């Protein structure tokens, strides 16, 4: 989803810092950039447009950024930035507040107010992923949002974990999303940003109902992913965990092109399929693979797997593992390890 825009590795050493300043000013917002050793500077940028929002994947050696009032007067897009610190340590100061970010932390800042940030990459490179969201898309007054800027927010729990997970997936995406998905992903980003800021501002009542519902669907999907191994996972247990009725849960998924029960089954089957194709899991019996992902009945798992893939789990595993070239000596072509218990 994110496309390469710039990499200092493509340029002579003496041109790298100047080129980085130029690409940041044109692709994002004008900033002053200072480094201690220009000859050692390295950076890269990947950018994705998602309707009215942007997501930027950045990596860089240690540096300092500054956006001044004069720069804002010349070029002042009214955006909020939600930044996930992926690697290294960062510090940011805005509106009289300063915070330090570790790996997995989130921070909000506004491009229409002056700010400073410092990146400590140590001996390597630091990295961050930033979502740029129009102020007009957020249902809070600017003065209200100022209470939250330059405040460290956790990306490891609650809505913050959902937002961080999406930013990580977009950064590492290797074809999971198509360009046609961009408008929907832009809406998801705005919904998560609104929910995250509303939570920390204790202003959930201001969030539009449709945004709350879309965010709840994301939370339900994340909950299902985390609990696939639980054989008791069901629409009823999912609804109970989110303090809603089963009827409300089904209504939320009315526009999702699937049902909760089908989603659980499909995700479990996909996890099992990956394990069956993984040489590291080749010694695990089929019934144990099924049980690992919540299938209590091995025969029911085999029937469901065959309905989707057109072969039994045993046949699928054999075909996938035989398709892999043997590693190292001692396995003559065409030979197989002795089979143990035959599973369905």
Residue 121 is part of a domain; what is its CATH number? 2.60.120.10
Same domain, 40 and 139: yes
More confident residue, 228 or 182: 228
The domain boundary residue, chosen from 117, 152, 171: 171
Same domain, 160 and 275: no
- Is 230 part of a structural domain of the chain? no
Mean pLDDT of 27-42: 93
79 Rama sector, left if φ>0, alpha if ψ -120 to 50, beta otherwise: beta
- Percent of residues, the chain, with pLDDT higher than 90: 76
Number of domains in the chain: 2
Instruction: Look up the domain containing 116 and give its range.
Output: 3-171
Residue 313 is part of a domain; what is its CATH number? 1.10.10
Same domain, 155 and 266: no
The domain boundary residue, chosen from 156, 171, 186: 171
pTM exceeding the 0.85 threshold for the entire prediction: no
Same domain, 151 and 293: no
- Is 164 part of a structural domain of the chain? yes
Least confident of 241-245, 254-258, 295-299: 254-258
Same domain, 9 and 151: yes
Same domain, 35 and 141: yes
- Is 116 part of a structural domain of the chain? yes
According to DSSP, the residues that pair with 34 across neighbouring strands are 64
- Is 245 part of a structural domain of the chain? no
- Is 177 part of a structural domain of the chain? no
Residue 143 has pLDDT above 60, yes or no: yes
Q: What is the pLDDT of residue 184?
A: 86
Q: What is the pLDDT of residue 326?
A: 57
Concatenate the DSSP letters of all residues of 166-217 into one string: HHHHHHH-SSSS-GGGHHHHHHHHHHHHHHHHHHHHT-GGGS-HHHHHHHHH
Q: For 147-191, write each residue's pLDDT tens digit.
A: 999 999 999 999 999 999 999 988 887 455 677 778 888 999 999
Q: What is the pLDDT of residue 335?
A: 43
- Is 273 part of a structural domain of the chain? yes
Token pair 């330059």 is found at: 150
Q: What is the pLDDT of residue 309?
A: 95
Residue 340 has pLDDT above 60, yes or no: no
- Is 85 part of a structural domain of the chain? yes
Same domain, 271 and 128: no
Same domain, 140 and 273: no
Concatenate the DSSP letters of all residues of 42-81 into one string: -EEEEEEEETTEEEEEEEESSEEEEE-HHHHHHS---EEE
Q: What is the pLDDT of residue 331?
A: 43
Q: What is the pLDDT of residue 342?
A: 40
According to DSSP, the residues that pair with 90 across neighbouring strands are 101, 119
The domain boundary residue, chosen from 107, 136, 171: 171
- Is 266 part of a structural domain of the chain? yes
Q: What is the pLDDT of residue 177?
A: 66
Q: For 9-18, write each residue's pLDDT tens digit.
A: 999 999 999 9
Same domain, 167 and 266: no
pLDDT averaged over the chain?
90
């Amino acid at each position: 989803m994110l496309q390469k825009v710039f990499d200092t590795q493509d340029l002579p050493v003496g041109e790298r810092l100047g080129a980085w300043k130029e690409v940041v000013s044109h692709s994002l917002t004008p900033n002053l950039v200072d480094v201690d050793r220009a000859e050692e500077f390295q950076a890269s940028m990947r950018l994705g447009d998602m309707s009215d929002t942007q997501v930027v994947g950045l990596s860089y050696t240690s540096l300092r950024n500054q956006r001044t009032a004069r720069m804002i007067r010349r070029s002042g897009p009214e955006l909020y930035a939600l930044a996930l610190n992926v690697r290294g340590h960062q510090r940011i100061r805005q509106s009289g507040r300063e915070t330090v970010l570790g790996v997995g932390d989130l921070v909000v800042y506004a491009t229409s107010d002056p700010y400073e940030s410092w990146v400590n990459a140590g001996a390597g490179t630091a990295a961050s992923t930033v979502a740029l969201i129009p102020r007009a898309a957020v249902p809070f007054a600017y003065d209200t949002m100022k209470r939250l800027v330059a405040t460290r927010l956790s990306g490891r729990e609650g809505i913050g974990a959902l937002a961080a997970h999406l930013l990580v997936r977009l950064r590492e995406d290797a074809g999971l999303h198509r360009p046609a998905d961009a408008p929907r992903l832009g809406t998801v980003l705005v919904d998560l940003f609104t929910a995250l800021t509303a939570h920390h501002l204790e202003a959930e009542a201001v969030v539009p109902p449709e945004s709350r519902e879309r965010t709840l669907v994301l939370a339900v999907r994340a909950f299902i992913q985390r609990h696939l191994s639980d054989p008791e996972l069901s629409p009823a247990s999912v609804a109970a965990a989110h303090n809603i009725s089963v009827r409300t849960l089904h209504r939320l998924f009315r526009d999702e092109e699937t049902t909760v029960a089908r989603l659980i089954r499909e995700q479990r089957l996909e996890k099992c399929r990956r394990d069956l194709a993984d040489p590291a899991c080749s010694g695990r019996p089929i019934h144990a693979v099924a049980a690992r992902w919540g299938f209590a009945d091995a025969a029911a798992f085999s029937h469901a797997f065959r309905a989707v893939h057109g072969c039994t789990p045993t046949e699928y595993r054999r075909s996938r593992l035989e398709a892999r070239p043997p590693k190292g000596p001692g396995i003559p072509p065409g030979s197989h390890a002795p089979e143990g218990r035959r599973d369905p």
